[in-house]
Amino acid sequence: MSSESESHDDGSSASPHILLFPFMAKGHTIPTIHLALLFLRHGAKVTFLTTPANRAFISESLSNTTANIVDLPFPKVPGIPDGVESTDKLPSRSLLLPFLASTPLMQADFERVLKALPTISFMVTGMFLGWTLDSASKFGIPRLSFGGWNVFTTVIYDHLVLKRPRLLLETKSDEVFEHPNFPSIKLTTNHFETHLVCSQFIVDQLDATSKSCGTIVNSCSEFEPTFLEFWNKDCKPKAWCLGPLCLAEPLPRKLISQEEQPWMKWLDTKKETAVLYVAFGSQTEVTKEQSEEIKIGLENSGVNFLWVVRNNEELDEGFEERVKGRGIVVKDWVDQRRILGHESVKGFMSHCGWNSVTESICAKVPILAWPMGADQPLNAIMVVDEIKVGLMVETCDGSMRGFVKGEGLERTVRELMEGEMGKTVRKRVEEVGESAMKAVEEGGSSWINMSELIRQTHVTKDTFMNHDVARI
């Protein structure tokens, strides 16, 4: 593979030095790790900032690489136990905003690190770490933002939060509104966690992104060409599509041997059948009432399934006994990419976190979209209406985040796994998955973007700081 350190227009042969600092959440940290692997593959030097409690995960993920890992102390936050330094460890989702709002307390330590490090070509910091823009400006370092979102979500949030800040607060829950440039996309307040999206904190982070030198997107032009073209023509800063980032690791890391994973052994026994993988991420809280309906839908559907639940979710023993042989419930950590890559897995019932969506597409597995919060409803629109690689669950009131009854779930599960619409999206995800893999290969769209990003920032920081970069 080519190396960006070989030659540069300014005559320099030194490798560019890139600083990565993700927001402390697994959904942000994991794709940033993948980003680090891609930068290293392109010949760059990488320094990765984290906190003491998160270091072990980062170190394990970047073992056998030349990445330099540096710790920043995490501030003490009222209500958050000591040692909780990632959102997936928060005892309650109500502590999310206090957690978010505490990160500016890290700025002094962040700047001490900047002062001590060798020359930094540019930094990529989490979108929710908007205060790093001020530090970057002090040290004359280009800052790019990374939120882990797709371009479509970036377009919608930019319009609603920065350009029409009162719309979500003043619109009735059942009232439909549109983006002026994309009238076919119908939105309601049910697509958003309004209290969070409209908070001053989020406004400030999006504003910092708009003033940064660029934003990195975990997507590729093949996924969303229309939204990418619109953004890079009419909005700022430039969006660099470098994904799907999960493909930075050709094969999932085997943290646990397959012999110790009974669910992988179980999947091996289902090679002649189709299995539905069911998982809603590490932070989604499913109510007891909703969990009961999931059991009804899965049991009555007759399909084979592997359901990953949180450790604190209670399932009656009778359920597991009744579905024994065709269904398995897992309460341990699982390597999702390994499961999605198993030949027996033919569908994924997902909350539509963007990392899960990209992993499913790259494994060529169609999605049964069940968004539950954050940017997930917008991702579900991408899955079902834009990329067309999945179906939507059936809610009682027809809203994006409504309650799902067992009989409705049974219908959509059967349709995805056995119906004509399921066949259509299965064929489509094969095509899109293939294009995603080509995007990150040498000569693909994301590969070219990565090469160009490194080249431009390494040639002249001043030009990049002035945002005077070519639009790809």
Side-chain half-sphere of 42: how many Cα atoms within 13 Å?
A: 28
Tally DSSP H helices, then E strands, for the chain.
20, 15
155 close to 179: Cβ distance less than 8 angstroms: yes
Closest-CA residue to 313 (of 365, 343, 278, 265): 278
The residue written with tokens 């198993």 in the block is 342
Contact by Cβ (8 Å): 13, 7: yes
Distances (CA, A) of 314 to 262, 398, 450: 20, 28, 45
Rounded to whole angstroms, how far apart are CA atoms 7 and 387?
A: 38
Beta-carbon contacts of residue 145 (< 8 Å; ≥ 6 apart): 124, 125, 126, 127, 130, 208, 209, 212, 214, 215, 216, 237
Burial 416-430 (b: 16+ CB within 10 A, else e): bbeeeebeebbebbe
Return the C-alpha torsion angle 327, 333, 335, 336, nearest 10.
Answer: 60
| Dihedral angle over CA of 336, 341, 346, 350, nearest 10 | 20
The tens-digit pLDDT sequence of the chain (472 residues) is 333 343 444 444 578 999 999 999 998 999 999 999 999 999 999 999 999 999 999 999 999 999 999 999 999 988 899 999 999 888 887 888 889 989 999 999 999 999 999 999 999 999 999 999 999 999 999 999 999 889 999 999 998 888 887 888 888 877 888 888 999 998 888 888 887 777 888 889 999 999 999 999 999 999 999 999 999 999 999 999 999 999 987 654 444 445 568 899 999 999 889 999 999 987 777 888 888 999 999 999 999 999 998 766 667 778 888 988 899 999 888 889 999 999 999 999 999 999 999 999 999 999 999 998 889 999 999 999 999 999 999 988 777 778 889 999 999 999 999 999 999 999 999 999 999 999 999 999 999 999 999 988 766 555 566 654 444 3
Mark 326-354 as b/e (b = at least 16 C-beta within 10 Å): bbbbbeeebbbbbbbbbebbbbbbbbbbb
For the sheet with 345-350, list strands across it. 327-330, 304-308, 275-279, 345-350, 367-369, 390-392
CB under 8 Å to 458, separation ≥6 — which residues? 4, 8, 10, 12, 16, 121
DSSP-assigned beta bridge partners for residue 462: none
